Amino acid sequence: MNDHKIKNIFVEGAISSQKIAESIQSHSSKKEIGGHSIFLGQVREDVLEAGKVIQIEYTAYVDMALEKMQIIREDVFSKYPLSCMHVYHSLGKVNAGEICLFVFTSSKHRKPAIDACAELVERIKQELPIWGKEILENENSQWKENN
Amino acid sequence: MNDHKIKNIFVEGAISSQKIAESIQSHSSKKEIGGHSIFLGQVREDVLEAGKVIQIEYTAYVDMALEKMQIIREDVFSKYPLSCMHVYHSLGKVNAGEICLFVFTSSKHRKPAIDACAELVERIKQELPIWGKEILENENSQWKENN
Amino acid sequence: MEQALIRLMCFGMLEEITGFKERQLIGKQDTDQFRIWLNDEFPELQKIDFVIAVNRKLINQNTVLKNEDEVALLPPFSGG
Amino acid sequence: MEQALIRLMCFGMLEEITGFKERQLIGKQDTDQFRIWLNDEFPELQKIDFVIAVNRKLINQNTVLKNEDEVALLPPFSGG
């Protein structure tokens, strides 16, 4: 634990393109920024043996995920000269084609923004206690496995 | 040269966050996509010896830039399994804090999208005949140099 | 000696297997004792890949359990 | 022999130095001849870093110039 306030990353349902636009727009006042890197995770309509995925329902161990995200955030801030870092992840139901993960880093130069964003995405996928349950068109479901 | 239609990448003035949102939104129907990677170049309010940068005015050798971009596009498409690739660059005046470059790649999995986007940004900066003239607050100007 | 009362939580597919999301559990001195109880109570968990967190930190060795500790069973993560 | 009429273009700071964006030029058989003419006409260009494109391709060796070729002087790129 540390002295910093724990930031929330979770949003209910899909992340809208409007929210992403607003987040980008809000950085126009930060005039020391030269590059933004963004990663968006989109729910895939995978066709599994058991059927076609139409939705993923996300659950998380929220308290642990936020504590872990705080550690990741501090690691990445100390490794790269970033102006900003924003992370949002969906909870609950997200339809195929909708956005479930939004990672946004900004820096004076492009390289730290790009590298930090890529590293954040990997760590979020590997280290945050979040689970996706794939809802199939035939009303069956199965638990997602990350590769 | 090749058989493909040459795509335009140039837009007059800054690239709006609304345009970026619309571009993201339009991919929600492509349900095989699992990850999008986006790079945004933002005009920095650099403080130079000669004064503070308030705007960059971009010019380009448009025909050559579009031909070169077509080659880069095909190289990157043949190297990474991408669903989509979009590149936009400003011409004319872009104020500090505004977006002048928008690179957007999408793939089934995150890694090709992220790697392709990073490679595109490098190649665009190094290989496209585009020039930025930094307009200073004291009405002087100087030609930008990429690092 | 007072017995530790822990808060036991299950996530993802483990909630479906055990049939509970959260319950209280008493009398387990450490995570090794806890694992023995878990295997007795839910033998089907032996086929499942999962890790244990105590107070929101993953553990990889036997850990003493204190009163009000939060013990969570976590299947492989699949966020993003 | 008919003399090639080429289209000569300057970009970025080179447009400011030469004072033109585009003009026609006649009688240069290849890019080596063209460079000699350029150095005579604009000696200040010798201090400037630039490359030459013929028909929108960068050249790195002497290149024959044909009628209607597009010859461009390009200072270091600074897009993005």
- Residues in B touching A34 (Cβ below 8 Å): 41-44
In a domain, C33, yes or no: yes
Q: What is the pLDDT of residue B1?
A: 45
Residue pair A128/A63 in contact by the 8 Å Cβ criterion: no
pLDDT exceeding 90 applies to what percent of chain A? 91
Which partners does chain B have (≥3 C-beta pairs < 8 Å)? A, D
Q: Which two tokens stand for residue D71?
A: 């010859």
Residue D80 lies in a domain: no
The domain tally of chain C equals 1
Which residues have a Cβ under 8 Å from the Cβ of A115 and sit 6 or more positions away? A80
| Domains of chain A, start order | 10-143 (3.90.1170.40)
Torsion of CA B97, A32, A17, A46, to 10 degrees: 140
Distance from CA of B112 to the nearest CA of A (A): 11
Q: What count of residues does chain B have?
A: 147
Q: Residues D13-41: what's their mean pLDDT?
A: 96
Neighbouring CB atoms inside 10 A of A32's CB total 15
Angle, vertex CA B139, rays to CA B135 and CA B143, nearest 5: 35
Greater model confidence, B103 or A2: B103
Q: What is the DSSP letter of B96?
A: T
Q: Say whether pLDDT at D18 is over 60.
A: yes
Q: Are D52 and D74 in contact (CB under 8 A)?
A: yes
Q: Mutation test of the interface with chain C: which of A72, A87, A133, A143, choosing the one with the most C Cβ atoms within 10 A?
A: A143
* pLDDT, mean of residues D18-38: 96
Average pLDDT, chain B: 95
Residue C74 pLDDT exceeds 80: yes
Show the CA angle centred on residue B9, arms to residues B5 and B15, nearest 5°.
150
Does residue C64 fall inside a structural domain?
yes
Residue C57 in any domain: the answer is: yes
* HEC string for chain A: CCCCCCCCCEEECCECHHHHHHHHHHHHHCCCCCEEEEEEEECCCCEECCEEEEEEEEEECHHHHHHHHHHHHHHHHHHCCEEEEEEEEEEEEEECCCEEEEEEEEECCHHHHHHHHHHHHHHHHHHCCEEEEEEECCCCEEECCCC
Enumerate the β-bridge partners of residue B86: B104
Between the alpha carbon of residue C33 and those of residues A102, B16, C64, D61, the distances in Å are: 41, 59, 10, 78
Specify whether the CB–CB gap between B113 and B107 falls below 8 A: yes
Which member of C13, C77, C80 has the closest CB to residue A129?
Answer: C77
Q: Do C and A make contact, counting contact as 3+ CB pairs within 8 angstroms? A: yes
- Residues with Cβ within 8 Å of C29's Cβ and at least 6 positions away in sequence, in order, are C4, C64, C65
Q: Across-strand partners of C22?
A: C9
Q: Subunits touching A (CB < 8 Å, at least 3 pairs)?
A: B, C
Tokens coding B122: 């490098």
Each residue's pLDDT tens digit, C14-36: 999 999 999 999 999 999 999 99
In C, which residues are within 8 Å of A99 by CB distance? none
Summarised one tens digit per residue, pLDDT across range A43-89 is 999 999 999 999 999 999 999 999 999 999 999 999 999 999 999 99
What is the average per-residue pLDDT within D6-10?
A: 98
Task: Specify the pTM.
Answer: 0.95
Residue C79 lies in a domain: no
Structural domain harbouring C18 = 5-74
CA D43 to chain centre: 14
Query: Which tokens go with B11?
Result: 């837009």
CB A103 within 8 A of CB A97: no
- Is the pLDDT score of B3 beyond 60? no
Share of chain D above pLDDT 90, in %: 95
Question: What residues have CB less than 8 Å from B34, skipping those under 6 apart?
Answer: A41, A42, A43, A44, B107, B108, B109, B110
Can you tell me the distance from the alpha carbon of A147 to that of D4, in angstroms, rounded to the nearest whole number? 61
Average pLDDT over residues B6-35: 97
- pLDDT over threshold 70, residue B58: yes
CA distance C55 to A14: 29
- Is residue C54 situated within a structural domain? yes
- As a whole number of angstroms, the distance between CA C22 and CA C72 comes to 9
State the CATH number of the domain containing residue C27. 3.10.20.30
Q: Do C77 and A41 touch (CB under 8 A)?
A: no
Residue C49 covered by a domain: yes
Residue in chain D lying closest to B65 (CA): D56
Instruction: In whole angstroms, give the CA distance from residue B144 to residue B52.
Output: 13
Q: Do A61 and C11 touch (CB under 8 A)?
A: yes
Q: Look at residue B5 in the predicted model and tell me its pLDDT.
A: 79
Question: Between the CA of residue A39 and those of B73, B117, B147, D37, what are the distances in Å?
Answer: 20, 10, 24, 51
**Per-residue model confidence (pLDDT) at position D6:** 97
**Is the per-residue pLDDT at D39 higher than 70?**
yes
Given B24, B97, B121, which is nearest A110 (Cβ)? Answer: B121
Q: Is residue B2 over pLDDT 70? A: no
Contact D13 B60 (CB under 8 A): no
- DSSP H helical ranges for B39-103: 62-79
Q: Is residue C53 part of a domain?
A: yes
pLDDT of residue A147: 67
Contact B103, B39 (CB under 8 A): yes
- Position A145 scores a pLDDT of 84
Over range A99-105, report the average pLDDT.
98
Confidence label for D1 from pLDDT (cuts 50, 70 and 90):
low
Helices (H), chain B: 17-25, 62-79, 110-127
- With cut-offs at 50, 70 and 90, classify the pLDDT of residue A3: low
- Best A26, A30, A44, A105 residue to mutate vs chain B (most B CBs within 10 Å): A44
Contact flag B37-A38 (C-beta cutoff 8 Å): yes
CA distance B90 to chain D (A): 8
B53: pLDDT strictly greater than 80: yes
D77 vs B146: CB contact, 8 Å cut-off?
Answer: yes
What average pLDDT is seen over chain D?
95
DSSP state of D21: S
Q: What ipTM score was computed for the predicted complex, to two decimals?
A: 0.95
**DSSP 8-state secondary structure symbol assigned to residue C55:** T
Percent of all residues in chain D with a pLDDT value above 70, rounded to a whole number: 98
With a cut of 70, say whether residue A2 has pLDDT above it: no
pLDDT of A1: 45
d(CA B109, CA D36): 53
- The minimum CA-CA distance between C41 and chain A, rounded to whole Å, is 23
